[in-house]
Structure 1
Amino acid sequence: MKSIDIKAARIHNLKEINISIPKNKLIVATGVSGSGKSSLMFDIIFEEGRREYLQSIGMFAGLEDERKFDSISGLGPTVAVQQSIVRQSNPRSTVGSRTQLLGLLGLLYASEGQISCSECEALIENGLTCSECGNEEERLEMSYFSHNNANGMCMKCSGRGAYYHVNMEKLVPNDRITVREIFDSIGVTPGIGRVIERNLKSNMDMPYSQLSEDIKDEVINGHYINNNSANQSFCLSRILQIRHKKGEYMNGLYELIACPECDGFRIGEEARRVFINGRHIGKVGKMTLVELKTFFDSVLEQGRFTQSGINLIQDILRKTSSLINARLGHLSLYREMSSLSGGEIQRLFLNSHLESKMESLIYILDEPTVGLHESEKAELLKSIYALKELGNTVIVVEHDKSTIEMADYIIDIGPKAGVEGGKVIYEGSYEGLLQCEASLTGQYLSGRVKMPDRRLKSDIFQDDASPRLTIRNARTNNLKDVTVSLPLGVIVGVAGVSGCGKSSLISDTLVPFLRSYFRDQSKSSSATNIEDSSNDFEDDSTLIETIAESLDGVEYLSGFAEVSQAPIGRSINSNPITFIKIWDKIRKLFAEQPEARQLNLSAGHFSFNSDGACPECGGSGRKAVFPGATMKIYTTCTECKGKRYNDEALKVRYKGKTISEVLDLQVSEAVSFFEEHKAIVATLEVMERIGMGYITLGQPTSTMSGGEAQRLKLAKEIGKKRKGNILYVMDEPTTGLSLYDTAQLIKLLNELVANGNSVIVIEHNHEVLESCDWIIELGPEGGSGGGRIIAEGPPQALKNNPDSITGKYLELHS
């Protein structure tokens, strides 16, 4: 069949759509955020493609929920690359493990590596017997060459190559300082201080230098309560670890050091005695991909391998060359996925699909240009087009102008979001979209509707007394001793190619300094934060250490709010209204209704986590089915039909709706539904203004994109009704936003500044950068080739600066 034909698609907000999508083309689905694009492409085409395939091999027959459409035909095997899949948080996932290069290397070292004798350390040239001392060795299994396997990892650092360590030399500058003074110096609150004193008793007022080694260890590392390794007593390492995990600047008190046992190579001693061309696998893991290719080009020329080994090396070189061509040559195999920029992650994932060279598939890509600089998009778009040229159908859900322009066929869903969306507004070519009056996308792309005007502050920095934040000598990650000033009371854009150091400068350097400063300003609030923090291990986070000399000018601020794209909840029970703290108010409102009083129901009976939960599914609204050892799918609970509540809770109504029906309301509907309750509506109104009116109140936050999570955080912060002088720090807030929604965001940023606040925004979107008062651009390249300030000034200054990569893409109008 030459098309995917769908009749009466009606899931979520789709309005009985009939559509025919041509196959073996590059299709772009666009439209305002929340219009129904993802519902059509992911919830119908991808899910149905997957379901039909599984049913064809005899799995899941009859398990589907209510029908999302009348009919669908023309489907084939379907592959989805979604933002929720692409974003990696597991610190043990590395470039080498994700690309399977470390697996190939492990196989090569296990079968072909040259062993160093464990007795005399001589290299064994032939066989497994040492010619020097006669000692016989055995070949190691492949697992011994993996830092993620118990056989192969260095046990001292658990295969991480580094760990955090309390710097006692800095905490104990002389022999007279007491234990109490040490804990006071790190800002321990009175409550925690009393707990520590109960443990250490009279040792609190002893000079640290005079303590026995056992007591010193107790001060630094504490002990495990009830022999539970997850329950550590309060000590220096626990308190400093909690502060570090919250992102505070540690000023060298809690340092990241290379593991002395494995010298930072991650693997155990056995694997470090097996070599290829004089290097063990740990050294190879630290190489960049460019260095790796050069190394194995040289190895292959030596001709000392079996045919199996030659095949493995050729596979390694093929994969490495492909990644280098995707402009990822600066990455090492040990580089953690969670530390990569959005652009690097997207190129890595797409490269793995291109490598497979499979045809006749349907690929559905979720905003693949997210995190990419304009100069990098051409390379990515070539890769996407190459997928189509292999004989596949490629559907891209996207707002990016460059992607829409190159599409063979465009589908615009709208006209707006939520209940006002769900219709096909346009189908056809790019030229036709520009002429379509009904399409908001077409109106913005054609220039008929423009972005909000902003009167830029042209006098920034003309007055030396103007308030600014100055970061001095930053060397976090790839930053090259950067000193930079960021003006306050304006919008500052931070730009540059992916991996150039934007996040290192702002998220990993500026934000930890701000956290540390405002923590010291308000120690009473930090007491709660520390005591409530979980005892997660260091292994749960990426190994990053903030390195900078100082941050000047913080006294000009009364507070700050970081609005990042980090996940805001992994549980199905976490949703927008629990996050913005209005769920308790809604449940209390239901408990006040006459029916609830008659039934003697409290607010707890309107919680699906508590007394109101459906007894069959426990309040999740779904049941898990396990068809295989590693496979799990969910079906709607047959008892509550997905409503999550028991019958008693569902008897109570407010304005004619049950508590379950309220959770199904979209934000824009909830604003009018709760209009007389200002405490409930305030933050919902902000959500609606920044393009989140289509989100339902009960949508699990774990299903939100990075951009949606960030805008929800922004709405929560703005809803706090703070006074002025707040610094808002945002990381690519336009992720997932259409041009129409980007315009609403720019209006909101302008309002924040007009109300006396400051905004710093890490961004690639040129519409946002054009609206900034000041831009700081890092580069010129990603990785080790970046980390420098290459241009700064108002947008016009970057436009005129030959060193600026971003400036040539700015479209400034007089």
Structure 2
Amino acid sequence: MEEIKIQGARIHNLKNISLTIPKNKLVVITGISGSGKSSLAFDILFEEGKNQYLSSIGILAGLDREDRFDTMEGIGPTVAVRQNTIRQSNPRSTVGTKTTILNQLALIYASDGKVMEEYYKHLSPSFFLYTTADGMCLSCQGRGSYYDINLEHLIPDRKTTLSKIYESLQVTTGFLQLLKKKYGMYFDTPFWELPDDIRGEVVYGTYDNGKQSYCLERILRNAFEKGEDVEEVYEKTICPDCHGERIGKEARGVFLHGKRIGELGQMTLTSLLDFLNEIPEEELSQFSKNVVKKMKEKLKHLIQFRLGHLTLYREMSSLSGGEVQRIFLHIHLESRLDSLIYVFDEPMAGLHPSEKQSMIEAVKELRNLGNTVIVVEHDKEMIHHADYIIEIGPRAGVEGGEVVYQGNYEEYKSADTLLSQYFYGKRLMPERTATRHMLDISDCLILEHANTHYLKDLTVAFPLHVMVGIAGLSGSGKSSLIEDTLLRCLASAYKKNIACKKDIASKNNKIDELEHKKELSGKGDNTTSIKGVERISGFVKISQEPIGRSASSTPVSYIGVWDKIRELYAKQPEAKIRSMSAGHFSFHSKGACKDCGGSGYERIFLTSDFSVDKLCKTCHGKRFNEQSLSVHYNGKTIADVLAMSITNAISFFEDQNHIVKPLSILEKMGMGYLTLGQPSSSLSGGEAQRVKLAKELGRQLKGNMLYVLDEPTTGLSLYDTALLLQLLDQLVASGNSVIVIEHNVEVLKSCDYIIELGPEGGDKGGEIIAMGTPESLMTNPHSGTGRYLT
């Protein structure tokens, strides 16, 4: 069949829509956040393609399926990658293993590697791979580094009890109860007086089926990964044996054109290609020449996809969603498969405007192989190149779920939809209320000698009380400058400030203000330091990291509203009669359905990491037991409330201001379409970021704060971007400062000041190539961003 025909699609907010999608075309599905586009692309097209394929080979035969649509014709095997897919956390899964480049290098080293020593025992390819027992460095188990806990710094007082340690690390109540069950008898014992075996368990935990128990190392590792300042007590140490090369002693003695394989693993893909081009042909056997030729083609392809800044040893778990999708796209183009249906989730995310054309060409190439490529996307360039466009709307949540346009690009120009009005200038981005003439370059934070990763010993001034954009190509050093350097320096400075104040209070000692500032700014000519910290009252990092990975975590629980709703239900007459507490209205506590444990479904594992979900026959997806569902508030059960959108919940709880106020902030950010029970793990990176921003805005902090955002427009249409810009403008107008790492030209145009890194990515980046107002970048010949701001 040449078309996919869908009749009566009605999952989530889709309103029994029927549409026809042409096959072997590039199809873009767009719409504002919450309109239903992902429901159509992933919950209908991808899920049915997957289920029909599995049914055809007898795996899902006989399973009841959710009533998601009436009929579907023309669907085939479907492959999808989503932005919010939880990627492998295994540190051994790297760019080199995923692309198989490391395996190819291992073949060359085993064939043509040279030693310095006269005697050389031939090594098989496995000795050159850190993923094998033969090849890994035994000291670091193939990781290249490990983390050391400095217990003397963590617990300097010999009398500090175990209880006080957990308190200082802010262990949550739930985990504290678990720890009390295990170590309760030792809670009041000074840590340094604990028995050796107990002290070892407390610090490093125990392992059950490869899973580490809750321990100090795990607490500190989680804090470190979140960017918290724990470096004084939890430091990443490069393996002293392999020096980060990951491989064992035998392989470290083998060279190819003067380089060990571990050295190549630490090179960027661009530098690796340069190195392979330098190898004289006479140094290689015919076998290796063939392998090198294929490897060069692969590297050129990856560099074309704007991945040249990555190293072979870069862990997959550390990549952005856009980078993961570009590697995925490369793998499938290389496979040359046809007749498949591919579904992509914003493959343009994280790309500089100059990098977009290569991605568009790659997607077209996948289509030209004979595949159907369906892209959920907001980017105007991708939409311009689409063979077929579908817009879902007209708005979000209950006001969305309809097909408001389907057709080609030329006809889309005259369509009067919400997004087409933004695409073609009928609607414009909001004007800034805080104007740029307020820019005071002397009122700033100054970061000196920034040299993290590939940064070239930078000194950078960040103007305060304005909105500052951080721009540049992928891998040019934006995150290194802001997240890995600026934020860590700020955290360290505030920590020293607190320690200094405590010292003053305890010793009743006066410290000269200038000396105090000197301590905050750091010492040493070549040491990274920061000045001007006293000019802000605090800082908030708002990243795209998930706000929760479990099905029990929801956005409303994250902002603190869910507890208030449960307490409200516990106060109802029916609940009081049955002596029910707030726990009876929690689906992962006393209120949970006994058969599904509060998940609402039964999970069936087909393999160790692949599963399908079947609706719970007892609660029918409501997650609660009968007792909890017998209590009503204004005629609604707790399960009914979970099914409400944020917008509907605001009306429902209109007389409960402590519930309505936090929800109203989310609605103002364009997130009124989210349901109260939506799992946090299902949110996109951009949605998670906006929930974090809403939580911070709900704290009612009094101005003079620094807000740092990492690509907040990920997952946002131009309509949603306009709402975000209004909020950021309000923050600045209230006396706060905003730093935003961004590629979106609409956001950069609205910035008061832009700092651009480059000129390229990886080791060819890390420099400041332009800075100033958007207008000044437009005429700056060194800027790679300026010409896109017109």
Q: TM-score range by the shorter chain?
A: 0.7 to 0.9
Please name the residue that 2:16 is paired with: 16
Please name the residue that 1:38 is paired with: 38
CA contact (8 A) 1:95 1:335 kept: yes
Please name the residue that 1:508 is paired with: 484
Please name the residue that 2:513 is paired with: none
Q: Partner letter of residue 161 of structure 1?
A: G
Q: Per-residue displacement from partner, 1:48-75 (whole Å, max 9, x unpaired)? A: 0111111111110132422211100011
- 1:50 has 2:50 as partner: yes
Secondary structure of the equivalent of 1:32?
A: coil
- 1:558 has 2:541 as partner: no
Q: Partner letter of residue 436 of structure 2?
A: S
Secondary structure of the equivalent of 2:624?
A: coil
Structure 1, 648-657 or 270-279: larger mean CA deviation? 270-279
CA contact (8 A) 2:439 2:752 kept: no
CA RMSD in angstroms comes to 3.4
Q: Give the whole-Å Cα distance in 1 for the aligned partners of 2:499 and 2:556.
A: 29
**How far 1:598 moved relative to its partner?**
2.3
Q: Per-residue displacement from partner, 1:591-650 (whole Å, max 9, x unpaired)? A: 111121222221111111111111111111111213345532221111111111111111
Please name the residue that 1:484 is paired with: 460
Q: Partner letter of residue 424 of structure 2?
A: S
Distance 1:197 1:639, change over 3 A: closer
Q: Give the whole-Å Cα distance in 2 for the aligned partners of 1:525 and 1:54.
A: 64
Secondary structure of the equivalent of 2:190?
A: helix
- 1:744 has 2:723 as partner: yes
Please name the residue that 1:156 is paired with: 139
Please name the residue that 1:67 is paired with: 67
Q: Give the whole-Å Cα distance in 2 for the aligned partners of 1:197 and 1:714.
A: 41
Q: Give the whole-Å Cα distance in 2 for the aligned partners of 1:3 and 1:191.
A: 61
CA contact (8 A) 2:645 2:676 kept: yes
Q: Give the whole-Å Cα distance in 1 for the aligned partners of 2:167 and 2:501.
A: 12
CA contact (8 A) 2:281 2:289 kept: no
Q: Partner letter of residue 441 of structure 1?
A: L
Please name the residue that 1:624 is paired with: 603
Q: Per-residue displacement from partner, 1:372-417 (whole Å, max 9, x unpaired)? A: 1111111111111111111111111111111111111111110000
Please name the residue that 1:474 is paired with: 450
Distance 1:482 1:167, change over 3 A: farther
Q: How does 1:239-258 map to 2 (within 5 A)?
A: 244-248=224-228, 256-258=236-238
Q: Give the whole-Å Cα distance in 2 for the aligned partners of 1:288 and 1:352.
A: 19
Q: Give the whole-Å Cα distance in 1 for the aligned partners of 2:275 and 2:552.
A: 50
Please name the residue that 1:212 is paired with: none
Q: How does 1:576-595 map to 2 (within 5 A)?
A: 576-595=555-574
Q: How does 1:762-773 map to 2 (within 5 A)?
A: 762-773=741-752
Using the size of structure 2 for normalisation, the TM-score is: 0.87
Aligned partner of 1:285 among 265, 268, 273: 265
- 1:785 has 2:764 as partner: yes
Secondary structure of the equivalent of 2:539?
A: strand
Secondary structure of the equivalent of 1:270?
A: helix
Distance 1:712 1:147, change over 3 A: same
Q: Partner letter of residue 445 of structure 1?
A: F
Q: Give the whole-Å Cα distance in 1 for the aligned partners of 2:218 and 2:41.
A: 46
Q: Per-residue displacement from partner, 1:545-586 (whole Å, max 9, x unpaired)? A: xx9521111112122211100122111111112111111111
**How far 1:251 moved relative to its partner?**
7.7
CA contact (8 A) 1:624 1:635 kept: yes
Q: Partner letter of residue 598 of structure 1?
A: I
Distance 1:491 1:288, change over 3 A: closer
Please name the residue that 1:259 is paired with: 239
Please name the residue that 1:574 is paired with: 553
Secondary structure of the equivalent of 2:447?
A: strand
Q: Partner letter of residue 163 of structure 1?
A: Y
Q: Give the whole-Å Cα distance in 1 for the aligned partners of 2:158 and 2:768.
A: 41
Q: Give the whole-Å Cα distance in 2 for the aligned partners of 1:610 and 1:760.
A: 40
Q: Partner letter of residue 241 of structure 2?
A: E
Please name the residue that 2:348 is paired with: 369
CA contact (8 A) 1:189 1:523 kept: no
**How far 1:16 moved relative to its partner?**
0.7
Aligned partner of 2:436 among 449, 458, 468: 458
CA contact (8 A) 1:476 1:548 kept: no
Secondary structure of the equivalent of 2:391?
A: strand
Q: Partner letter of residue 468 of structure 1?
A: C
Q: Give the whole-Å Cα distance in 2 for the aligned partners of 1:79 and 1:396.
A: 12
Q: Per-residue displacement from partner, 1:236-291 (whole Å, max 9, x unpaired)? A: x9998676455245787765443221122111223334555564432332233344
- 1:448 has 2:426 as partner: yes
Please name the residue that 1:85 is paired with: 85
Please name the residue that 1:543 is paired with: none
Please name the residue that 1:100 is paired with: 100
Q: Per-residue displacement from partner, 1:175-197 (whole Å, max 9, x unpaired)? A: xxx965999xxx99996899999
Aligned partner of 1:198 among 182, 190, 193: 190
CA contact (8 A) 2:66 2:615 kept: no
Distance 1:785 1:163, change over 3 A: same
Q: Give the whole-Å Cα distance in 1 for the aligned partners of 2:150 and 2:555.
A: 41
**How far 1:516 moved relative to its partner?**
2.5
Q: Give the whole-Å Cα distance in 1 for the aligned partners of 2:83 and 2:215.
A: 39
Q: Give the whole-Å Cα distance in 1 for the aligned partners of 2:367 and 2:576.
A: 62
Aligned partner of 1:711 among 687, 690, 704: 690
Q: Give the whole-Å Cα distance in 2 for the aligned partners of 1:725 and 1:74.
A: 57
Please name the residue that 1:670 is paired with: 649
**How far 1:672 moved relative to its partner?**
1.1
Q: How does 1:538-549 map to 2 (within 5 A)?
A: 549=528
Q: Give the whole-Å Cα distance in 2 for the aligned partners of 1:61 and 1:251.
A: 53
**How far 1:459 moved relative to its partner?**
3.5
Q: Give the whole-Å Cα distance in 2 for the aligned partners of 1:712 and 1:378.
A: 32
Structure 1, 159-168 or 376-385: larger mean CA deviation? 159-168
- Structure 2 unmatched ranges of 5 or more: 171-185, 207-211, 503-525
Q: Partner letter of residue 428 of structure 2?
A: K
Secondary structure of the equivalent of 1:353?
A: helix
Distance 1:189 1:723, change over 3 A: farther
Structure 1, 142-151 or 563-572: larger mean CA deviation? 142-151
Q: Give the whole-Å Cα distance in 1 for the aligned partners of 2:718 and 2:539.
A: 28
Using the size of structure 1 for normalisation, the TM-score is: 0.84
CA contact (8 A) 1:248 1:516 kept: no
Q: Percent identity?
A: 51
Please name the residue that 1:205 is paired with: none
Q: Give the whole-Å Cα distance in 2 for the aligned partners of 1:578 and 1:223.
A: 35
Secondary structure of the equivalent of 1:724?
A: coil
Please name the residue that 1:534 is paired with: none
**How far 1:653 moved relative to its partner?**
1.3
**How far 1:421 moved relative to its partner?**
0.2
Distance 1:222 1:268, change over 3 A: farther
Secondary structure of the equivalent of 2:626?
A: coil
Distance 1:525 1:322, change over 3 A: farther
Q: Give the whole-Å Cα distance in 2 for the aligned partners of 1:447 and 1:510.
A: 37
CA contact (8 A) 2:439 2:466 kept: no
CA contact (8 A) 1:248 1:514 kept: no
**How far 1:106 moved relative to its partner?**
3.6
Q: How does 1:114-133 map to 2 (within 5 A)?
A: 121-124=117-120
Q: Per-residue displacement from partner, 1:139-178 (whole Å, max 9, x unpaired)? A: 54x544332344432122232223345799x989xxxxx9
Q: Partner letter of residue 420 of structure 2?
A: G
Q: Per-residue displacement from partner, 1:119-152 (whole Å, max 9, x unpaired)? A: xx4244xxxxxxxxxxxx5754x54433234443
Please name the residue that 1:3 is paired with: 3
